[in-house]
């Protein structure tokens, strides 16, 4: 399996950062997004309609896929990738889609 290195998140160029989040599922991205907004695991679980354990699992999977040593580092990678225009996951008609606007 191809594994991306978290150092891509610190490279600072759009061509390096945009593909970084392609390794994450929409739900993993959503957990990082809500974490970046400062929500606690319990609040994230409430917003996503799942258990706290599921949120922790999604967070841990995101850390592994981004090869990030901590939640703080994973959120930093996420925020930088968003800054460079990677499409944001959004819910459309009950399905997860991408906000291309």
- 95 beta partners: 92
Let me know if residue 67 belongs to a domain: yes
pLDDT (tens digit, 0 to 9) for every residue of the chain, 101 residues total?
A: 344 444 444 444 544 555 677 889 999 999 999 999 999 999 999 999 999 999 999 999 999 999 999 999 999 999 988 886 655 554 444 444 444 44
Let me know if residue 50 belongs to a domain: yes
Let me know if residue 83 belongs to a domain: yes
Total count of domains within the chain: 1
The pLDDT, as a whole number, for residue 97 is 44
Query: Residue 78 sits in which domain range?
Result: 6-99
CATH number of the domain encompassing residue 75: 1.10.10.10
Let me know if residue 38 belongs to a domain: yes
Let me know if residue 55 belongs to a domain: yes
Let me know if residue 1 belongs to a domain: no
Its pTM stands at: 0.68
Q: What is the 3-state secondary structure (H, E, C) of the chain?
A: CCCCCHHHHHCCCHHHHHHHHHHCCHHHHHHHHHHHCCCCHHHHHHHHCCCHHHHHHHHHHHHHHHCCCCHHHHHHHHHHHHHCCCCEEEEECCEEEEECC
The pLDDT, as a whole number, for residue 85 is 62
């Amino acid at each position: 399996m191809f594994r991306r290195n978290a150092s891509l998140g610190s490279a600072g160029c759009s061509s390096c950062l945009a593909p970084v989040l392609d390794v994450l599922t929409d739900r993993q991205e959503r957990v990082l997004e809500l974490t970046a907004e400062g929500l606690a695991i319990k609040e994230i679980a409430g917003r996503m309609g799942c258990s706290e354990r599921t949120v922790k699992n999604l967070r841990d999977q995101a850390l592994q896929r981004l090869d990030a040593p901590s939640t703080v580092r994973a959120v930093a990678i996420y925020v930088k990738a968003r800054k460079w225009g990677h499409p944001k996951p959004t819910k459309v008609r009950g399905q997860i889609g991408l906000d291309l606007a």
